[in-house]
Amino acid sequence: MAALDLHIDDIGKRFGAIDVLRGICLRVAAGEFVTLLGPSGCGKSTLLRIIAGLERADQGHVRAGGRGLDAVA
C-alpha cells in the first residue's frame, strides 16, 4: 500500500456549546511521523477519530492523497 499525504483544513467540532476543535490545519507528508501532544480533554482523540472517519467534523475537510475523506463517517 502506498503512503499518502494527509491534509487537514480548518477542522472544527462542537459537542453542544463546547468547541472541542476550532480551525485545525495540518499537513503530513507521506512517510512523515507526527505526534499529537496536549492535556486531557484538549481534542487529540476527537481529531484522530475524525481523521479515521469514525467521527464527522462540523466544519473543514480531511484529504488523503488528494481524495476527500469527509463522507466516510
Read off the pTM: 0.87
Kindly tell me if the per-residue pLDDT of 22 is higher than 80. Answer: yes
Please give the residue that has the higher pLDDT: either 70 or 24.
24
What is d(CA 31, CA 47) in angstroms, rounded to the nearest whole number? 20
Q: Edge-to-edge, what's the strand order for the sheet holding 67-68?
A: 18-28, 6-15, 59-64, 67-68
Share of the chain above pLDDT 70, in %: 93
What integer pLDDT is reported at residue 57 of this predicted model? 96
CA distances from 5 to 8, 26, 42, 59 (A): 10, 11, 25, 20
What is d(CA 71, CA 31) in angstroms, rounded to the nearest whole number? 25
- Going from the N-terminus, what domains does the chain have, and what CATH number goes with each? 6-68 (3.40.50.300)
Question: pLDDT of 30-60, one tens digit each?
Answer: 999 999 999 999 999 999 999 999 999 999 9
Q: Sign of the C-alpha dihedral, residues 17, 21, 24, 27? A: negative
